[in-house]
Chain A
Amino acid sequence: MVTTATPTKVKGSGKSASAQQKIQELRDLYADAPELSRKALENVLQELTDQVAQTPPPPVESAGRAGSRLGKVSELTLIVPLAPGGAKRLRTFLRLLGGNLNGADKVGTVHDMRFVFLDNDTKLLFATAYDGDWDAYIDDFATRIPDYLDVLNAGWEGWPGIRSPEAKDYLAKHQVTAEGWYVANDLTVAETRRLKQIGKAVDELLDKIA
């Protein structure tokens, strides 16, 4: 039988260092930390050592061009400079929707999104968890929902527009890859919706036969 293993692109360079070495490195770095942090580290050190020595957790992979991915779910964190008046535009737009972008339901790959204004409205932090690889559906956004994206991004300094061939480069340039990434449910949005439906159907069936 011809089969393949799940692909794993292991990130980082920690592979070569032993667990002991990594723990020691951490202790060295905490040596000049405030006392409460030092003590806290000592308190959890044994547990941490055991954890690191045991089988390593599933590796966080690259989501493609930028960002981290664990299993099926990837993270995207952007820090974008805002043009003068940009924050006001975006804030007014978001408030029009009560801060809720449930129109994004139809995208089908987005788990969550947050928009946070930073540094006196001069920057925007945009963070999202989504399914799959970095750029799989960006072209689809450009033909299916270009106007919504360009309205949302209207305040971004230098945004070339979602239809522009430079749009992906712009996003990659402002993306900051998360160093830590935790995903509780290794389920896509599509799988979660399906399980919800199945759960409901099972309950209805049980109600009927009870």
Chain B
Amino acid sequence: MLSVTESVGETVSTGVPTLDLHEIQATVLRQRPAPYFGTHVVLRINDPRAGRAFLRRLTPYVDSAAGWRIAANAWLAVAISYTGLEALGVPTESLQSFPEAFRVGMAARAAELHDEGVNDPTNWTPPFGTGQIHIGVSAFSDSEEKRRRALAIARDQYEGFSGVTVLSTQDFGAQPGDLNPLGYKDGIDQPAIEGSGEEPLPGQGPLIKAGEFILGYPGESGVPLPMPSPDILGRNGTYIGLRKYQTRVGAFNRFLRENGRTEEERELVAAKLVGRWRSGAPLTLAPNVDNPALGADPRRNNDFNYANDPHGRQVPFGSHIRRMNPRDTELSRLTDVNIHRLIRRGTTYGPPYDPNAVSEADDEVPHGAYFLFISAKAMATMEFLQREWVNDGNFIGAGDERDPIVGLQKQEATFTIPRDPVRRRIHGIDTFNVLRGGEYFFMPSLTALSWLGNLE
């Protein structure tokens, strides 16, 4: 298999794809560019006929995953919520073929997602949780200019249409160094999908059956996952979930200051929380000091497992990356790590991370991430992750400790850093990312978009 490295540092390969790339939307396989610029637009359909007319107009501009490795052009993605499918006039029989968690929407699944307390849907920002979010359109690009052009194309299709109303528009990206709201390089570890034509990056793990991520193909158990009907609607589609987080950067910085006396100590604590230094360099390969060159190199920054770290002394069991992908960690529960992975498209909004922001007012500055996740069973996977890997610690022998980055912390919560001879247990870890909204969408294939647009 031949491979070359692009200027943006992404690996390109000539592996033969077996998926219908011309049908699958680009966002499913195309990585976020670096740097990235984009906009999420959320719309409501007021009238089924107008909603379908809008889809018919937009569909020619929605990009397929064919040539997904070329991230140089801007692209548009479109996804539709359950209430959106209803608003488009999708037949009842077809509506009922969607999984229950999708039909009721993310807010109604709060109990299953452990979205309680501050994360409870009653605390969400409109339009989230109102049931009015019908269609999400996202523009992704590698420059501000291209973002604007792509967005203008989308806008031309809905502006002046009384049948659709824009509920919110959110620009994202444009952080120096593409750091996330807490100042880390992110989005490094993605699942490798069989048949996408992608040669896995070193350390990306085994190829995972495409059916875990795209409907209509066999999954890891050998059979395709349940697919909505009719076939033309479901095939080559997938589900995309969105969770809007408000980052409490003041709380995060206060936590670092309380638990590290010097800059070096604070950065080590910050690295232990995530399992990577801010540069993206993994603690497994750079246990004592950051190595920005390592962090920047996609062929090296994910090339590790935990075989030599069985006690978590480099990467704590409870750290964010070890929870979200335990790799070869021996778990206390019979688990198939490959069936709990998500394609992740984190999109940061608001001002860049400021290490000197320590006030409670800083916690409320609009600043955070629209976390997008893609899977053929996105609802079930998010519920599993929220219950088992994010808001619990039993699977790694960490009692009821929670994920330090995206977990919802209880009072007196702790975070354990294994050390020799005695572990360090930090008390009073706070919730650093608060949920402000979320929704599930179906991301149809291009043919399915036409089918939807031409419903009678």
Q: Which residues of A contact B (CB under 8 A)?
A: 1-7, 9, 64, 72, 106-109, 131-133, 136-137, 139-146, 163-165, 188-191, 193-194
- Shortest beta-carbon distance, A204 to chain B, in Å? 15
Please tell me if the beta carbons of A1 and B394 are within 8 angstroms of each other in the complex: no
Please tell me if the beta carbons of A9 and B111 are within 8 angstroms of each other in the complex: yes
A-contacting residues, B176-219, CB 8 Å: none
Give chain B residues whose Cβ lies under 8 Å from the Cβ of A142. Answer: 221
Please tell me if the beta carbons of A2 and B394 are within 8 angstroms of each other in the complex: no
- Shortest beta-carbon distance, B169 to chain A, in Å? 28
* Known contacts A4-B410, A136-B387, A143-B339; is-contact A190 B430 (Cβ 8 Å): no
* Known contacts A136-B384, A139-B339; is-contact A3 B221 (Cβ 8 Å): no
The complex places the Cα of A93 from the Cα of B332 at a distance, in Å, of 27
Give chain A residues whose Cβ lies under 8 Å from the Cβ of B167. Answer: none
- Shortest beta-carbon distance, A52 to chain B, in Å? 27
The complex places the Cα of A72 from the Cα of B332 at a distance, in Å, of 15
- Shortest beta-carbon distance, A201 to chain B, in Å? 13
Q: How many residues of B contact A (CB 8 A)?
A: 41
Chain B contact residues: helix, strand, loop or mixed: loop
Q: Which residues of B contact A (CB under 8 A)?
A: 111-112, 114, 116-119, 220-223, 225-226, 248, 251, 331-336, 338-339, 380, 384, 387-388, 392, 394-395, 397, 399, 408-411, 413, 428, 430-431, 434
Please tell me if the beta carbons of A164 and B111 are within 8 angstroms of each other in the complex: no
**Closest residue to A6 on the B side, CB-wise?**
B410
Give chain B residues whose Cβ lies under 8 Å from the Cβ of A108. Answer: 331-334
Please tell me if the beta carbons of A165 and B225 are within 8 angstroms of each other in the complex: yes
Give chain B residues whose Cβ lies under 8 Å from the Cβ of A109. Answer: 333-334
* Known contacts A4-B118, A7-B114, A132-B388; is-contact A188 B335 (Cβ 8 Å): no
The complex places the Cα of A43 from the Cα of B220 at a distance, in Å, of 59
Please tell me if the beta carbons of B336 and A139 are within 8 angstroms of each other in the complex: yes
**Closest residue to B399 on the A side, CB-wise?**
A191
Please tell me if the beta carbons of B409 and A3 are within 8 angstroms of each other in the complex: yes
Please tell me if the beta carbons of A143 and B338 are within 8 angstroms of each other in the complex: yes
Give chain B residues whose Cβ lies under 8 Å from the Cβ of A188. Answer: 394
Please tell me if the beta carbons of B339 and A140 are within 8 angstroms of each other in the complex: yes
Please tell me if the beta carbons of B334 and A140 are within 8 angstroms of each other in the complex: yes
Please tell me if the beta carbons of A144 and B431 are within 8 angstroms of each other in the complex: no
